[in-house]
Structure 1
Amino acid sequence: MEKAPPGAILLLMLFAHSCAVALNATNDPGADEFHVGVILDLGSLVGKEARTSISMAVEDFYAAHKNYRTRLVLHVRDSRGNNFQAASAALDLLNNYNVKAIIGPQKSSEAFFMTDIANISEVPVISFTATSPSLTSDNNPYFLRATINDSTQVNSIASLIKYYGWREVVPIYIDTDYGRSIIPDLLEALQGNDARVPYQSIIPQSATSEQITQELYKLMTMQTRVFIVHMTSPMASVLFTKAKEVGMMDKGYVWIVTFGVASLIGSLNPSVLEAMNGALGVGVYVPKSTELDNFTVRWNTRFRMDNPNDPLLKLSIFGLWGYDTIWAVAQAVEKAKSTKDTVQIQHMTNSMTSLKVPKETENGLKFLNAILQSKFRGLSGYFDLSGRQLQPSTFQIINIVGKGWRDVGFWTAQDGFSQRLTRPRSNGTYLSTKPDLNPVIWPGESTNIPRGWEIPTSGKKLQVGVCTSDGYPEYIYAEKDPLIVGMTKASGLAVEVFEETVKRLPYALPYEYVFYNTTENISSSYDDFVYQVYLKARPIPTCIQVLFVHFPKVISMHMQKYDIAVADITITYKRSSYADFSLPYTESGVAMVVPVRERINTTTWIFLKPLTFGMWSASIILFIYTGVVVWLLEFLGNNKAVRGPIPKQMVKSDVPPKKKNKTVSVNLQLFFSTFYEMVERLLSRIVLIIWLFFLLVLTSSYTASLTSMLTVQQLQPTVTDVHELLKNGEYVGYQGGSYVKDLLDELGFDKSKIRQYDSTDGFRDALSRGSSNGGISAVVDEIPYIKLFLAKHCEGYTMVGPIYKTAGFGFAFQKESPLRGDISKAILNITGGDTIIQIENKWIGDQNKCRNVGPVTISGSLTFESFKGLFILTGIASTSSLLIALVIYFYKNKQVQSGIGDAEQDFPQEFKADTIEEEKEQEETGAKGKQNMNLQNSTVKRSASIVIHRGERATGARESFDVMEMLEV
């Protein structure tokens, strides 16, 4: 805050005393006086405008409430922006004026001193300017905040960062409680919106212009171009003035000022506003009203009279809060009717350090509770202190343009961003749709949204680390230029992909290659190479930063760390822990290279190989089960062909009598046709049809597989599984410097069985000799390398796998690098078209010419999994048919038994005897079955007629006819 000149302090104190006398003189002589202390920094912008607002508030309140029997008596004191001075003023007001409330102090640090005094004296302290989040009412029950908490604005700032897509932000704040207390909440809000804070710029309260300039130069060396300024208006004025001088208010930069500065934009010096052109601000929205317009006019007139030397100051939200605070206090005084002095203050010594605890606190608590219950619509909006602080509902986003500002939009916790508060909202939240904001004029008078990052320092190029790939220079080859000192030349597939990617970026990206020599250290690997990117991202010591400001070229020559690492770098979990990677530009995975041999299957038992053991077993079980089901179905259906002893059934002809004169063909269709006519039931024929379909599919597949095994000449790898190598103790090879060695160790290979090679020729020689002759049985490597190997040595080798999944080759970046997203998008553009194919053909060759490039597919036996559906379908059909047949059989059997029993009860005794005798005679005479059947039918008919003639039971007669019909059947 600004400070008044020392010579004016005495005049201000005298003027404050005269104002208090004048206010006392205007009070109603019969009204009860309520003394209130006011502590402000009268030399600051806020102090000056608040003093005018407070004076007008007292006058306006009692002009509107002439019947009130209480009157506020204000005692204004100047804290001069000093914590001790503010505390001394509070003690003076309590001792000498017996004030019942203190309005102020203005600064958060002053409020910390006041809270202790308020707790002891039990006098409420109400501040409308102390916004520090560390000031809470948990331990300070007599402290009330008639303003917002600074932490309430952090979500709107974080949402603004997310809206424009910025990924990195640097907060610049003053090293005081006011500046530090907001940072934890701000960092949390930014992190929740996927924004990163790589650096925090802390400005000491006593910092000079030179120190601020030095800090700005340090910020220029970083990539981040989005800054959040949280400091007092005087310090912010110096910061922006210096930022314009060093060129940080040009195109590409983003500046966001918090509520403390944005609320005082109208009172800043025109030169400061000019320096801040293009900045954004977050302020509290004040609803427009006729009362506010009238008050603003009166306030401007009154302020010019009170401050003739400060004609530029304008009314801000702090002045409105001061006005509404007086109204809240005046209402609470009238409601509490506090008329007696209940706070007993011991007379203070000259040291002013002792304060006696009051004996009676009833009226003090009543007054405090009355303030907490104050709710009304004031000039600043809805004024409610029930939560011990104001809760703003809407924040306003402004854009500083010219000598003023304009609205960009509004933000609320419920709806997010909007251009106008009256705009109708949908049922969804603001996160579901893209919110609308008015266009912004950014620094440098640009209308394009800045990216939020740039290449640091003017003329400094991006450091791109390159190296030479061991054994595969086709992917990358780098060396220092022998003609130009400090120049590095690079070529290869990875380099060409990177250069093509940079061309497709929507902006220019200056870079230079920096050579990384992997031969300087025997144990050096790509892990060490990628780690150089992490070392570049680590914070630079302060001493180096200072030297960098003055000697940027000299220092940069000795900092051989990289912004990007470009090579055939595999994206792994270990490397991703200290670096970020772009999307891969090659195929992913680890596979094996093994020799191949040509052969035709001529084994004795080759006819068994088309089906696996499980398939043979399942097929035999299904055949047996289907046969049993068909036999049971025919047996339950009284088929004579399946009746009798099993040996007798075996010798029966499978062909019905009418077909015996035909020769049974071995053809499957003729066999099924004959067998189909042999069965009688519909259920049996359904089972046979489904079984035939299964049999046709199985036999066709068996025939095709067996034909392929007997006739096709196949190229088969000598090894098909990496675990086979491990089990047999075979030797395997890998490329030197690759992480594949760690993979082989994890798989369980003995170190003595792992051999390192540095070239494709070494691989070929080792594979040709084999494990038994000092070579290897397989090469385990990444698929891009294997493709290159097979492109050179196509005949006699093939790829098996992949046996392990990886993410492919990518470029390494510093953690949270803003370049990563744009580079990855460009890589997608390249790999999604013909460009990557042309690049691969240039450096690797035409892979379509080699038939062994790609995974080997071996024609194996038919498995149960391939025919599981047919097995299930056939089994369900057979089982369902059997269950249906059983249900029908038992149902009919029950009906037959029930009908015969009833008939026996109805028949006369002599009829039964006659029937038995007739049956015996038939058995003795050996009559034919047909005559027996006729005799039985006639007997039953005669019995039925006897039953009907006698008329014993009508129901018995019906049942006897049923029995007759069943016997006929």
Structure 2
Amino acid sequence: MKAATTTLLRVLRRRHGLLLALVLLVGAASGAAAQRTVDVGVILDRSTWVGNMSWTCMELALDDFYADDSHARYLTRLKLHLRDTGPNAVDAAAAGVDLLKNVGVQAIVGPQTSTQAKFLARLGNKSSVPIISFSADCPSRAGLTPYFIRTAWNDSSQAEAIASLVQKHNWREVVPVFEDDDTNTKFIPDLVDALKQVDTRVSYRCKIHPSATEDAMKAAISSLRHNWTSVFIVRMSHALALKFFQLAKDEGMMGQGFVWITAYGLTDIFDVVGSPALDVMQGVLGVKPHVQDTVKLQNFAQKWHSKYRLENPGTSLSEPTVSGLYAYDTIWALASAAENATYVNLDFGPSVTKNGSTDFDRIDTSKAAEKLRGALLKVNFSGMSGKFRIENTQLASSYYMIINIVGQERREVGFWTPEFGISGSLNMKSDINTIIWPGGDHETVPRGWLLPRNKRLQIGVPANPGFGQLVRYENGPEGQKGFCIKVFDEVVDNLPYQVLYDYHGFDDGHGNSNGTYDELIYKLYLKGFDAVVGDVTILANRSLYVDFTLPYTESGVRMLVPVLDRRQKTAWTFLKPLTADLWLGTGAFVVFTGFVVWCIENHEDFKGRRLRTTCQELL
């Protein structure tokens, strides 16, 4: 390089003089500075619609950023190096090593899945290179290393939105239905915690393996039918969800009385699959990040549609999903951070492990990438997906939108905001729009529970209770008697639907009690009975295990017994209750009252003489 420069100077001096040579060299140096390149690796699975859609968004983001007049004088230029790794996590890790060792990238954008994020997060921590994901769902990945950054919303806020929707409709028990993969490892516990905050119980979790057969999925759906709740929260991949809802529809679980809520990620199925998903998911509610519809977004969607359809003919995807907008904003933020970061030589520093036996051990650290990470965490702008600001290595979340599947459209019925919870408006508390529930009902909100198919309630009755007038259990069809039994029978008869039940005594088979009342309550808690009817006292320790109805008798014990009156009765018997103290008190009040009346009659101010004189003078 030095020899070439010396030769160039010698030629320029000979022909044009020293001044011209210096001018050209300064100009060349300025041009080199303007073309400073910041290499960024991109790891995607181009065999998926997410990978293709995201790559199109990234390319457009790069073009739009440097076409902007305000960025024309930037001295840095982002260069993307794509690696199509497929879904395999090991291949993604190998691509990460290649980008770090052979390309010297200062950041890696990807990985699509949380499983891939596990491997690449370790690479980022070792090399000080930020690993940036816009689609890895699991929020726990952000806590693996400070060099792993999620440019997508935290799923915990989505859990709060779903819990608020459940609370609004007073559903007391729900069942999560989710794909048994790494994506839901942290989301489901977050969801359960959020539901606990609104006093909603999760008594059962339905896991479905990603490679589940049709018979396995039917068995899972059948298990849902044997639970009391009819409110289900679903989160799984698009292909698995489409089969699941089709089987659920065949089993009659997409009809009246059921509630289905889909978490974000699955909500995009309507953009990707289209009519097949809409046909089998009628009445389903969905939660997705709210993106403000702007002219800028509309123009971008048109450009994206033309480019994506050209590169992917025959696709059913008509517009970029929120994940694609995250990918767009990620590249925009990186390009801005590259300009704002203090320039450092792109050479990687020496590896901490000098004599490692693998490429992973010999990965060097990058000071330039560390500077880029610091600048990225400070980026703040309004992007396609909304406000772009990193908090705790994740994109700060904002508002969620509630959608309802009706016919062939997705109706917007409301929003969730941290200030107002579930509301029909983003700026104030208001009623949400009418929801069309599964089965086409829009007037009656589902109760949230249904009797399991062919289910008879097993009602426990105390044996040998304290008072037979309240409850008494004897063997035989008419053995249940007492006031409590009559109340329960009357309540069930007045329900607007049929409830089948059988009484079972809590006895040892010989007519004796099988334990104490506390043991009876605990057996109910262990689901040995569906309910207990009897003279069970409401105590604090029992309330920890079961729910009690409101008392329908007064608390306490009373006895009504006949009394033989042996007192003599005469004409003066009525005077016997009047004691000497009462007679003395009565006499004292009579004397005091007479004294007050006498004082009033003999006092000058209360006499009528002056009033009569005044009246005569007026006449």
TM-score bracket relative to the smaller structure: 0.7 to 0.9
Identity %: 37
Contact 1:35 1:97 in 2 (8 A): yes
Q: Which residue of 2 aligns with 1:55?
A: 59
- In structure 2, the CA distance between the partners of 1:81 and 1:473, relative to structure 1 (3 Å rule), is same
Contact 1:474 1:493 in 2 (8 A): yes
Match of residue 134, structure 1, among 140, 147, 166: 140
Q: Which residue of 2 aligns with 1:444?
A: 439
Distance (Å, rounded) in 1 between the aligned partners of 2:519 and 2:148: 53
Q: Which residue of 2 aligns with 1:497?
A: 487
Matched, 1:389 2:384: no
Cα-to-partner distance string for 1:604-627 (whole Å, 9 max, x where unaligned): xx9999479xx99xx99xxxxxxx
Give the 3-state SS of the residue equivalent to 2:228 in structure 1: coil
How do residues 524-535 of structure 1 correspond to structure 2 at under 5 angstroms? 524=513, 527=516, 534-535=522-523
Distance (Å, rounded) in 2 between the aligned partners of 1:476 and 1:566: 8
Matched to 1:272, the amino acid is A
Matched, 1:299 2:266: no
- In structure 2, the CA distance between the partners of 1:334 and 1:608, relative to structure 1 (3 Å rule), is closer
Distance (Å, rounded) in 1 between the aligned partners of 2:593 and 2:185: 94
Q: Which residue of 1 aligns with 2:361?
A: 354
- In structure 2, the CA distance between the partners of 1:609 and 1:464, relative to structure 1 (3 Å rule), is same
Match of residue 454, structure 1, among 450, 453, 458: 450
- In structure 2, the CA distance between the partners of 1:218 and 1:536, relative to structure 1 (3 Å rule), is farther
Match of residue 323, structure 1, among 322, 328, 343: 328
Deviation at 1:122, TM superposition (A): 1.0
Matched, 1:36 2:40: yes
Distance (Å, rounded) in 1 between the aligned partners of 2:402 and 2:271: 15
Distance (Å, rounded) in 2 between the aligned partners of 1:41 and 1:401: 33
Contact 1:324 1:383 in 2 (8 A): yes
Match of residue 208, structure 1, among 213, 229, 246: 213
Distance (Å, rounded) in 2 between the aligned partners of 1:488 and 1:295: 75
Deviation at 1:52, TM superposition (A): 0.9
Cα-to-partner distance string for 1:341-374 (whole Å, 9 max, x where unaligned): 132477999953323443x62x333322221221
How do residues 55-454 of structure 1 correspond to structure 2 at under 5 angstroms? 55-64=59-68, 65-137=71-143, 140-312=145-317, 314-336=319-341, 338=343, 340-344=345-349, 352-358=359-365, 361=367, 363-385=368-390, 387-421=392-426, 425=428, 435-447=430-442, 448-454=444-450
Contact 1:477 1:492 in 2 (8 A): yes
Contact 2:287 2:402 in 1 (8 A): yes
Alignment coverage as a number of residue pairs: 561
Contact 2:259 2:284 in 1 (8 A): yes
Q: Which residue of 1 aligns with 2:505?
A: 516
Deviation at 1:576, TM superposition (A): 4.0
Structure 2 unaligned runs (5+)? 1-30, 570-574, 600-619
Cα-to-partner distance string for 1:806-849 (whole Å, 9 max, x where unaligned): xxxxxxxxxxxxxxxxxxxxxxxxxxxxxxxxxxxxxxxxxxxx
Matched to 2:492, the amino acid is V
Distance (Å, rounded) in 1 between the aligned partners of 2:358 and 2:239: 33
Matched to 1:509, the amino acid is Q
Matched to 1:147, the amino acid is A
Match of residue 557, structure 2, among 572, 590, 604: 590
Choose 181-190 or 89-98, whichever is displaced more: 181-190
Cα-to-partner distance string for 1:599-654 (whole Å, 9 max, x where unaligned): 4499xxx9999479xx99xx99xxxxxxxxxxxxxxxxxxxxxxxxxxxxxxxxxx
Give the 3-state SS of the residue equivalent to 1:385 in structure 2: strand
Contact 1:266 1:404 in 2 (8 A): no
Matched to 1:85, the amino acid is D
Matched to 1:585, the amino acid is Y
Matched to 1:204, the amino acid is H
Contact 1:32 1:71 in 2 (8 A): yes
Cα-to-partner distance string for 1:790-816 (whole Å, 9 max, x where unaligned): xxxxxxxxxxxxxxxxxxxxxxxxxxx
Matched to 2:230, the amino acid is R
How do residues 515-594 of structure 1 correspond to structure 2 at under 5 angstroms? 515-516=504-505, 518=507, 520-521=509-510, 523-524=512-513, 527=516, 534-535=522-523, 538=526, 561-573=528-540, 575-592=542-559
Matched, 1:463 2:445: no
Distance (Å, rounded) in 2 between the aligned partners of 1:100 and 1:588: 74
Distance (Å, rounded) in 1 between the aligned partners of 2:222 and 2:80: 48
Cα-to-partner distance string for 1:934-959 (whole Å, 9 max, x where unaligned): xxxxxxxxxxxxxxxxxxxxxxxxxx
Distance (Å, rounded) in 2 between the aligned partners of 1:401 and 1:372: 41
The structure with the greater share of residues assigned to helix is 1
**CA RMSD between the two structures:** 3.7
Deviation at 1:574, TM superposition (A): 5.7
Cα-to-partner distance string for 1:371-403 (whole Å, 9 max, x where unaligned): 122111111111122543212221101112233
Distance (Å, rounded) in 1 between the aligned partners of 2:355 and 2:109: 22
Deviation at 1:475, TM superposition (A): 4.5
How do residues 795-814 of structure 1 correspond to structure 2 at under 5 angstroms? none
Contact 1:304 1:311 in 2 (8 A): no
Matched to 2:346, the amino acid is D
Matched to 2:168, the amino acid is Y
Distance (Å, rounded) in 1 between the aligned partners of 2:32 and 2:100: 24
Distance (Å, rounded) in 1 between the aligned partners of 2:502 and 2:420: 48
Distance (Å, rounded) in 1 between the aligned partners of 2:334 and 2:81: 14
Give the 3-state SS of the residue equivalent to 1:586 in structure 2: coil
Give the 3-state SS of the residue equivalent to 1:581 in structure 2: coil
- In structure 2, the CA distance between the partners of 1:345 and 1:292, relative to structure 1 (3 Å rule), is farther
**Bigger relative contact order, structure 1 or 2, given CA contacts below 8 A and separation 6+?**
2
Contact 1:469 1:567 in 2 (8 A): no
Distance (Å, rounded) in 2 between the aligned partners of 1:264 and 1:671: 91
Matched to 1:512, the amino acid is Y
Contact 2:460 2:506 in 1 (8 A): no
Contact 1:527 1:575 in 2 (8 A): no
Contact 2:129 2:369 in 1 (8 A): yes
Give the 3-state SS of the residue equivalent to 1:173 in structure 2: strand
How do residues 830-869 of structure 1 correspond to structure 2 at under 5 angstroms? none
Give the 3-state SS of the residue equivalent to 2:404 in structure 1: strand
- In structure 2, the CA distance between the partners of 1:577 and 1:95, relative to structure 1 (3 Å rule), is closer
Q: Which residue of 2 aligns with 1:684?
A: none
TM-score by length of 1: 0.53
TM-score by length of 2: 0.81
Distance (Å, rounded) in 2 between the aligned partners of 1:611 and 1:317: 92
Give the 3-state SS of the residue equivalent to 1:443 in structure 2: coil
Deviation at 1:239, TM superposition (A): 2.3
Matched to 2:503, the amino acid is V
Deviation at 1:480, TM superposition (A): 5.7
Contact 2:114 2:137 in 1 (8 A): yes
Contact 1:171 1:228 in 2 (8 A): yes
Distance (Å, rounded) in 2 between the aligned partners of 1:420 and 1:302: 35
Deviation at 1:238, TM superposition (A): 2.9
> Which has the larger Rg?
1
Deviation at 1:265, TM superposition (A): 2.9
Matched to 2:458, the amino acid is Q
